[in-house]
Amino acid sequence: MSTHERIENPPGSRDVAVVTDSTPYVPRSLIEHWGIHQVSLYVGWEGDLRPEHEYEDLDAFYARLRDSPQLPTTSQPSVGDFLACYEPLLRAGRDVLSIHIASGLSGTCESAREAARIVSGEGHAGVVEVLDSQTGAGGLGCLVLLAASVAQQGGSLEAVAEAVRRGRESLDIWFCLDTLEYLRRGGRIGAAQAMVGTALKVKPILTFGTEIAPVGRVRTHGRAFERMVAYLGELHDRGATDWIVQHAQAHADAEKLVAEGRALFGTEPLFCSEVGPVLGAHLGSGMLVGGMTRPTPPAP
């Protein structure tokens, strides 16, 4: 990740803890390195909802997703889940920036905001600010890592939140799917509904924002991969400094896409990872790429 000169906190300000949910699918090594806290969404079949992180075998999950006549159910974290995360951080004298999947895709932000309202009345010195990322998956991951890096440099809660807002302005995430069927069945299809009539004959290309929206379509898997490579080139030409690759059951394509991105950018991606059960249940298989221009940190 990019590094900057340390941002000193104003006198009397507190360290900032960064909290997110389980849907960025950032590798565990980066979560631990940056000290990021996570609150898990839930997913399961026939009422057996489990925290997303308990599904360690993603191949088994996606095999069941393909074979099951029913889609799994997904659910946002409870208010109590967020309280269990926020309260120890506040008792330790820290402020909290909590950044989550777009509210148009999940009720996670609302659970977080209700928990923030509760802790605000408990007399803690620290405060919780909840941000709707207006994106998901790797886009959310980019913003979370940005927040953690600014916090680690000594940024105040206001500085970290502002960096995330400015980062979101330059963030762009595209993805292609084998089919729109999972989005249609799960009710998360948004503006992509208009493509349903031809979904069986095309590979849809969509963007992750406040809702999932279409940006194009191609007819073969090979053309979909070519479009993702071209999109990496567009990100590079627009000045993106951070880029990511994610996939669902497309390991070989992801590796090839990383190689293409490495040649374009001359850098490694922030991360390459597989999308987990909650978003996988709604998207099915495919590839996702994106990037953003890392904002210059505010002056001390």
Q: Which domains does the chain have, with CATH numbers?
A: 16-168 (3.40.50.10170), 170-292 (3.30.1180.10)
Confidence band, pLDDT 50/70/90 cuts, at residue 11: very low
Instruction: Give the pLDDT confidence score for residue 10 in this predicted structure.
Output: 47
Query: Residue 160 corresponds to which tokens in the numbers above?
Result: 């970290």
State the pLDDT at residue 6. Answer: 35
Q: For the residues 117-124, what does the mean pLDDT come to?
A: 93
pLDDT value at 254 more than 50: yes
Helix (H) or strand (E) holding 243, with range, is strand 242-248
SS3 188: coil
Report the relative pairing of strands 50-51 and 203-208 from DSSP bridges: unpaired
Average pLDDT, the chain: 87
**Contact, 86 vs 96, CB < 8 A?**
yes
Give pLDDT, residue 88. 97
What average pLDDT does this structure show over 143-163? Answer: 96
**Phi, psi (degrees; rounded to nearest 5) at 218:** -130, 170
Q: Which band of pLDDT confidence, cut at 50, 70 and 90, is reported for residue 273?
A: very high
Percent of the chain with pLDDT over 90: 65
The pTM score is 0.89
Q: Which of 74-78, 137-141, 179-183, 256-260 has the lowest mean pLDDT?
A: 179-183
Q: What is the pLDDT of residues 154-186, one digit of tens each?
A: 999 999 999 999 999 999 888 888 877 777 665
pLDDT tens across 36-57, in order?
999 999 999 998 999 999 999 9
pLDDT of residue 103: 93
> What pLDDT does 127 receive?
96
pLDDT value of residue 52: 96
Determine the average pLDDT of the residues in 245-252: 93
pLDDT at 296: 56
pLDDT of residue 135: 93
- Residue 295 confidence (pLDDT): 67
* Confidence at residue 264, expressed as pLDDT on a 0 to 100 scale: 94
pLDDT computed for residue 186 by the predictor: 58
Give, in degrees to the nearest 5, the angle at Cα 39 between 36 and 45.
140
Tell me how far apart the alpha carbons of residues 154 and 145 are, in angstroms, rounded to a whole number: 14
Span 187-221, pLDDT tens digits? 555 544 544 444 556 788 888 777 777 788 888 88
Task: Name the nearest CA neighbour of 127 among 165, 160, 168, 103.
Answer: 160
The pLDDT value recorded for residue 293 is 74
Q: What are the beta bridge partners of residue 96?
A: 17, 128
DSSP string, 176-238: EES-SHHHHHHT--GGGGGGGGGTTTSEEEEEESSSEEEEEEESSHHHHHHHHHHHHHHHHHT
**pLDDT per residue over 50-79, tens digit each?**
999 999 999 999 999 999 888 899 999 999
